[in-house]
Structure 1
Amino acid sequence: MKTYDAIIIGTGQAGVPLATKFANEGKKVAIIEKNKIGGTCVNNGCTPTKTYVASARRAFVAKNSKDLGIETKDVKVNLKKIKERKDEIIANTHIGIKKLFSGLENLDFYQGEGSFLSENSIEIKTENGKNKKIEGKQIFINVGGKTIIPKEYQKIDYLTNTSILELEEVPKHLIILGAGYIGLEFSQVFARFGSKVTVLQQNERFLKKEDKDVADEIKKVLEKESITIHTNAQNIKVVQKEKINISFEKDGKEQKIKGSHILISVGRKPNTKNLNLEKAGVKTDERGYIKVNQHFQTNKKHIFALGDCNGKGAFTHTAYNDFEIVRDFIFGKQKRKLADRIQCYAMFIDPPLSRVGINEEQAKQQMKEDKDLKIVQAFRPMKYVARAKEKGETDGMMKILINEKTQKILGATFLGISADETIHGVIDIMYANKSYKTIRDAVHIHPTVSELIPTMLENLKELK
């Protein structure tokens, strides 16, 4: 049985740089991948979906520029060509990673499914049945997650975030179960491609993790693009005949809709089921996420879990940060840890939503729990941002929350044009642990969206 200094299961955004680091340090490393190289981000996450978002944006601009003096006719969406462009970008990334691996003298790449035989040994199951067994002094799990498919929908011809990217014709009527970030991104993309789109959500509160005014604004934006959104849709039943037939109850009344395609986007779960973690004695929580400490060690200190499978973040940027923390723990000064991370994310609808730290509702809850805590807020609607007006895209708002006593920024929510980029000025100030006055007193370039951050910080109001 071949022995390695490190075995990495999965080639996601933490696995690839970690394997590279071990190899460059002169350590013998094995990396295993059961599917396509590159993980979720490369194959069915960020890279392909943002490629589609870009194409959808072009279609939207082409169809909606009359007010800016630009008129076009006969805008056509060629989904086959959009898919081909997406496939080419992914293929080039695959080539890049494989070239990286082939150039690393101390790295062995295995194509197959890895699972534990013991806390130091891994079996690699291959398609040709020639299974292999290897041992590792340290083992790193980076297996990602996948779509949850409820039992009642498993027998119908459904789409997931992966299979919808393989379509070559635009659906006539796309029905989406679930109004999370993935579902909403696809709702706008395919509405812009020309699909009729209906979104069904069981919760009465739309985007309950966001402030209500922000969620309401997002709903308004999507509905302006003829996307139908049903919240509080209960007892959803799906029957597939020639079409997708759905019935559900809303406000005590039964409603029925028919569609050509159905996308299931009700949540995700970790890819830990087939790892045989019990043979290694590695503990998981009730949802299957691997339990880890501040340095992503499991209860077995030589086994680590990085990325979506540890439940500490479901994003490419958090997975890469997992790698950075583990790299520092093994090869550095062991100063970095999970608790240092400030949670941030974006939803890439158009205009995008971006978040860092707490939102307004969480801030109010903290003040209820701590009567001595005073939080002030800076607020500005996008309709008062010159760059947004000039571009003709004024939906949204910007919020920044500040601890009045410490003058430190606690969080921000930006919804609007360029929000996914503009938020980083706030993120950097939070990581620098500096007063909000640092960015308030900075000189920003005009005309930009970012230049309004100092302006809005000059007018703070007590949060009540």
Structure 2
Amino acid sequence: MAEYDYDLFVIGGGSGGVRAARISATHGAKVAIAEEFRMGGTCVIRGCVPKKMLVYGSHFAEDLHEAHRFGWDVEGAAFDWPRLRDIVQADVDRLEGLYSVNLGNVGVEIIEQRAVVAGPNAVKLADGKTVSAKYILIATGGWPAPAGCPGEEHALTSNEIFHLEKKPENIIIVGGGYIANEFAGIFHAFGSNVIVANRSEKILRPYDQEIVGRLQEISEAKGIAYRLNAPLEKIEKNDDGTVTVHFRDGGPPQNADVIMVATGRVPNSANLGLEEAGVALDQAGAVSVGDDNRSSVESIYAVGDVTNRVQLTPVAIREGHAFADSVFGGNPRTISYDNIPSAVFSSPPIASVGMTEDEARAKFGEDIKIYRSDFKPMKNVVSGREERALYKMITRGPDETVIGLHMIGPESAEILQGAAVAIVGKMPKKVLDDVVAIHPSMAEELVLFK
């Protein structure tokens, strides 16, 4: 008889856990995965996938308004939030089903209930059953941070915002990160009055601040309001269902139909039995792991947002795959966290890879050179839209090795994905200079920097 019920038991059915389970099974392991809510995790169910669909929907607001400049007359255009909401959720259902099918195709057992760690090699299920596993993988992701003030129960998070019964006429979005700025653009395009409230002076702190400044300038020109240096004091629920939000900035309270708190995500590690099993957690509640994803307990590993290394879906997927190859595939490997491309699907979007200007100056001083291209995209010229794109390249040394690329403008994320190769490959600027431009395009600006 086998010593354990499973070779691998995965707790959490998000991107990292699903990839680890599937690849481990293809390597011949007997695998089970437990998910208490819905297969697919944050990204598929309540994150990047449905959010990007809302972003696509928001683009029509400006396109329809500007259509006459391109020869089209669009009469009677109106936005229907419940229709878009339901179509998006139907596709979430489709994707969730695909995750389960793909796991089933390689023999992974799916357990649709909560599971907690009961020991180094034991997992207890919600129905009371305890099973054993040679290895346990924690892949429970992250959870939205609460408002942290009286009345926080009246605030929504990115978990609930996709399911609103109706579009809010007035919405306050608390936070300065990518989630806050993305939903600010979405709801403004849908016709809501939007206030972004942030506890500090700066928004999108990890991004190049010249690029961020351009986004804030464009957003304010559109009518999105920013209330900075404004920590929350309390949230009050009114009899008519609206909320009154009080800030600690000395300014007046603000009324809104909805307040959404988007102040970051915390590791989803509470009440999983981890500390009782000897698994070390850091001060934020993240599972402390080494480069091999192993925790302080030899048989317990963790990947994805629950480790709080880099909270990005593609990173969790790579971590899960590396775990499976290392433990079951006979191919020990780790992943690099350097030069990870990222994007903010704001309006317009930001894309970034490598060092920001501030980071580069702090590390290399005057041994850097900055190139900029500040231009109006051709579509904006025709439409009459005043928004300008800004592309920025940072190089270092006499050979001008490219160490940073930062962009704001239409389709920035689509353009940057390929350009990120220059950063990861440590290419000199001359390599990009030697590439023939695709004309007319926005992407050509990346090979025309002077």
- Quickly name the TM-score band, shorter chain normalised: over 0.9
Aligned to 2:144: 147
1:421 is the counterpart of 2:395: no
Aligned to 1:408: 401
Q: Closer, same or farther in 2 for the Cα pair 1:280/1:428, shift >3 Å? A: same
Q: Deviations over 1:280-303 (max 9, x none)?
A: 211111001111112222222332
Q: Closer, same or farther in 2 for the Cα pair 1:54/1:245, shift >3 Å? A: same
Aligned to 1:119: 120
1:41 is the counterpart of 2:34: no
Q: Deviations over 1:143-175 (max 9, x none)?
A: 111111134245542211121100131111111
Cα distance between partner residues in 2 of 1:10 and 1:282: 17
**Counterparts of residues 61-460 of structure 1 (less than 5 Å):** 61-105=63-107, 107-125=108-126, 130-154=127-151, 156-234=153-231, 236-241=233-238, 242=240, 243-250=242-249, 253-331=250-328, 334=331, 336-339=333-336, 341-368=338-365, 374-383=367-376, 386=378, 389=381, 394-405=387-398, 407-456=400-449, 459=450
TM-score w.r.t. length of structure 1: 0.90
Structure 2 stretches lacking a partner, 5+ long = none
Q: What secondary structure does 1:11 align onto?
A: coil
Cα distance between partner residues in 1 of 2:93 and 2:401: 44
Q: What secondary structure does 1:8 align onto?
A: strand
Cα distance between partner residues in 1 of 2:307 and 2:209: 29
Q: Deviations over 1:236-286 (max 9, x none)?
A: 332211321123354xx4322211111111121011012111122111110
Bigger shift: residues 295-304 or 391-400: 391-400
Cα distance between partner residues in 2 of 1:293 and 1:446: 47
Cα distance between partner residues in 2 of 1:141 and 1:432: 32
Cα distance between partner residues in 1 of 2:15 and 2:333: 18
Q: Closer, same or farther in 2 for the Cα pair 1:188/1:431, shift >3 Å? A: same
Instruction: Determine if contact 2:21/2:324 at 8 Å carries over to the other structure.
Output: no
| Matched pairs, number | 445
Instruction: Using the TM superposition, give the Cα deviation of residue 2 of structure 1 relative to its aligned residue in structure 2, in angstroms.
Output: 5.8
Instruction: Determine if contact 1:6/1:137 at 8 Å carries over to the other structure.
Output: yes
Cα distance between partner residues in 2 of 1:102 and 1:96: 10
Cα distance between partner residues in 2 of 1:176 and 1:340: 30
Cα distance between partner residues in 1 of 2:28 and 2:396: 47
Q: What secondary structure does 1:439 align onto?
A: helix
Aligned to 1:11: 13
Q: Deviations over 1:293-350 (max 9, x none)?
A: 1222222233221111111111111111212332342355756423364222100012
Q: What secondary structure does 1:299 align onto?
A: coil
Letter in 2 for 1:12: G
Bigger shift: residues 1-10 or 257-266: 1-10
Q: Closer, same or farther in 2 for the Cα pair 1:327/1:342, shift >3 Å? A: farther
Structure 1 stretches lacking a partner, 5+ long = 460-464
Letter in 2 for 1:297: R
TM-score w.r.t. length of structure 2: 0.93
Instruction: Determine if contact 2:174/2:261 at 8 Å carries over to the other structure.
Output: yes
Q: Closer, same or farther in 2 for the Cα pair 1:366/1:333, shift >3 Å? A: farther
Cα distance between partner residues in 2 of 1:223 and 1:262: 19
Q: Deviations over 1:161-219 (max 9, x none)?
A: 12110013111111111122101111111111111111111102233333332222111
Greater relative contact order structure (CA < 8 Å, 6+ sep): 2
Q: Deviations over 1:388-443 (max 9, x none)?
A: 64576642311111112453221111111111011123211222333332222112
Instruction: Using the TM superposition, give the Cα deviation of residue 94 of structure 1 relative to its aligned residue in structure 2, in angstroms.
Output: 1.5
Instruction: Determine if contact 2:151/2:235 at 8 Å carries over to the other structure.
Output: no
Q: Deviations over 1:52-95 (max 9, x none)?
A: 11111112311234444444343211111101111111111122
Cα distance between partner residues in 1 of 2:332 and 2:124: 34
Cα distance between partner residues in 1 of 2:383 and 2:297: 54
Q: What secondary structure does 1:280 align onto?
A: coil
